[in-house]
Amino acid sequence: MPVNLSVFEDFNTIDGIKIGTTNAGVKQTSRPDIVVFELADTATTAGIFTENAFCAAPVQISKHHLANAQTRYLIINTGNANAGTGAGGYEDAIEICQAVAQAKGVALEQVLPFSTGVIGERLPMGKILPAIPKALEQTQANIWYDASRGIMTTDTQPKGTSTQFEFDGQTISISGISKGAGMIKPNMATMLGFIATDAPVAKDILQEICSELGNKSFNRISIDGDTSTNDSCMLIASGCAKVEKLVNKQQPLYAVLKAELEKVFLYLAHAIVRDGEGATKFVAIDVCHCENSKEALRIAYTVAHSPLVKTALFASDANWGRILAAVGRSGVRDMNVDAINIYLDDVCIVEKGARAESYTEEAGAAVMKQSELCVRIDMGRGEAGETVWTTDLSHDYVSINADYRS
């Protein structure tokens, strides 16, 4: 079961965006597995993608199309990642784009494809191509919830959120969905994210916002330390809200819109961690007083990826020596262990590099039994800090991934 994560269904409509879903039977038949987004001709689109060298064919194509044309359609399939499929997989993804483009009378480059699922297998084109017209025929203004179900793979529940705010006498809406539960580690994770607002935003500004917020959210989560081949997060501005178009960061709308979008990005990223495969705990690794951000992240990820730390979290075992050892092997140069303090929430477990005199096993165990907790590591060497969100490592994680292809 997800860690303190409820299903969200009450999405705000985003004027200028329609969504269609259907089931092609790629891997399952119980929910949609094809999702299409139809964007108004006023829309701008931005995106960030996986840094895996084996990035999937749809990632390669989406990056190229996004850079060279105004996006009008997004099409997503689940159940098959179309990664590690060579030239044939690339041709399959192009054929899917062509099917959408021809059906709707747009250019090929105006269609972005996305896939998620098993790596190394060709797409079942005989199932997907006939399903595309069905999805396109059923586009509606507000079926975000159906779309959130349609992009799931090993997720136990759909993930989404929505918000509105007032600006210059107008209501501006934001809605977003994400998927992901395993193979989660920047940059980015086995995840897809689709976030949209009706605000009018220039493409360069939108890309800057997407990159910065993605780095603070989806690039700060880790479940198992594996970077996927298919990660994509798209930010869409339909341009239908009746406010002045955002074209520079000095405009009042910039700070307000960015702050509201940040809440959505963080919620969707945290939802992925909360629904991590086999997860029983939602854990923040907060590293502070470092020389720079890179150093803080290096320490945070070393702790977050440690199987020994993660299994101790699952067992609710306050085995603080595992955390200490992970910090020590993080590769930070000239580390002064005598300056380091470590906390479980507000319980100090390590003070000046050794077990805190005030620490008791009972106090540590009480924190470790919580479904949500923070491991705070104070390095005592600078002003920089970063937070990474992760999970424990349970028996169920092994079972889910051992049986993934069966």
Q: Which of 21, 190, 227, 302 is catalytic?
A: 190
Evaluate whether residue 6 is within a structural domain.
no
Instruction: Decide if pLDDT at 27 tops 70.
Output: yes
Query: Which of 240, 274, 308 is the endpoint of a domain?
Result: 274
Q: Looking at the structure, do residues 214 and 342 belong to the same domain, yes or no?
A: no
Q: Looking at the structure, do residues 259 and 309 belong to the same domain, yes or no?
A: no
Of the chain, the end-to-end C-alpha distance in Å amounts to: 21
* pLDDT over 90, % of the chain: 82
Question: Six-digit token pair at 65?
Answer: 């199309």
Q: Looking at the structure, do residues 300 and 262 belong to the same domain, yes or no?
A: no
Q: Looking at the structure, do residues 45 and 159 belong to the same domain, yes or no?
A: yes
Cα 214 to chain centroid distance, Å, stands at 8
- Report the C-alpha gap between 275 and 141 in whole angstroms: 27
pLDDT at 273: 92
- Report the C-alpha gap between 183 and 188 in whole angstroms: 10
Question: Six-digit token pair at 248?
Answer: 């520079």
pLDDT at 184: 46
Q: Where are the beta strands (DSSP E) in 281-355?
A: 282-290, 341-344, 347-351, 354-355
Which residue in this structure is represented by tokens 């039977």?
25
- At 346-394, the pLDDT tens digits run 999 999 989 999 999 999 999 999 999 999 999 999 999 999 999 998 8
Query: Which of 225, 249, 274 is the endpoint of a domain?
Result: 274
| Counted domains in the chain | 2
Q: Which amino acid is at 175?
A: S
pLDDT band at 77 (very low <50, low <70, confident <90, very high): very high
pLDDT at 187: 43
**Strands 372-378, 282-290: parallel, antiparallel or unpaired by DSSP?**
parallel
Evaluate whether residue 312 is within a structural domain.
yes
- Report the C-alpha gap between 146 and 161 in whole angstroms: 13
Helix (H) or strand (E) holding 328: helix 320-328
Instruction: Decide if pLDDT at 222 tops 50.
Output: yes
Q: Which of 123-132, 217-226, 230-239, 292-301 has the lowest mean pLDDT?
A: 217-226
Between the alpha carbon of residue 349 and those of residues 315, 321, 391, the distances in Å are 18, 9, 20
Evaluate whether residue 174 is within a structural domain.
yes
Q: Looking at the structure, do residues 205 and 157 belong to the same domain, yes or no?
A: yes
Q: Looking at the structure, do residues 268 and 382 belong to the same domain, yes or no?
A: no
Phi, psi of 280 (to 5 degrees): -120, -5
Q: Looking at the structure, do residues 288 and 243 belong to the same domain, yes or no?
A: no
Q: Looking at the structure, do residues 35 and 114 belong to the same domain, yes or no?
A: yes
Q: Looking at the structure, do residues 297 and 150 belong to the same domain, yes or no?
A: no
The H-assigned helical ranges of 191-232 are: 203-216
Q: Looking at the structure, do residues 126 and 178 belong to the same domain, yes or no?
A: yes
CA Rg, the chain, in Å? Answer: 22
CATH number at residue 144: 3.60.70.12
Instruction: Decide if pLDDT at 1 tops 80.
Output: no
Residue 31 CB neighbours (<10 A):
14
Query: Which of 234, 256, 274 is the endpoint of a domain?
Result: 274
Evaluate whether residue 254 is within a structural domain.
yes
Q: Looking at the structure, do residues 84 and 162 belong to the same domain, yes or no?
A: yes
- Quick one: which of 200, 205, 203, 191 has its CA closest to 271? 191
Q: Looking at the structure, do residues 298 and 152 belong to the same domain, yes or no?
A: no
Evaluate whether residue 322 is within a structural domain.
yes
- Which residues partner with 228 through β-bridges? none
Evaluate whether residue 54 is within a structural domain.
yes
- Supply the range of the domain harboring residue 334: 282-402
Cis before 188 (ω within 30): yes
pLDDT band at 227 (very low <50, low <70, confident <90, very high): low
Evaluate whether residue 2 is within a structural domain.
no
Clarify whether 190 is annotated catalytic: yes
pLDDT at 180: 80
- At 60-70, the pLDDT tens digits run 999 999 999 99
- Report the C-alpha gap between 284 and 176 in whole angstroms: 23
Phi, psi of 241 (to 5 degrees): -70, 140
- At 288-345, the pLDDT tens digits run 999 999 999 999 999 999 999 999 999 998 888 999 999 999 999 999 999 999 999 9
Q: Which amino acid is at 129?
A: L
Between the alpha carbon of residue 359 and those of residues 344, 348, 380, the distances in Å are 10, 6, 20
Evaluate whether residue 3 is within a structural domain.
no
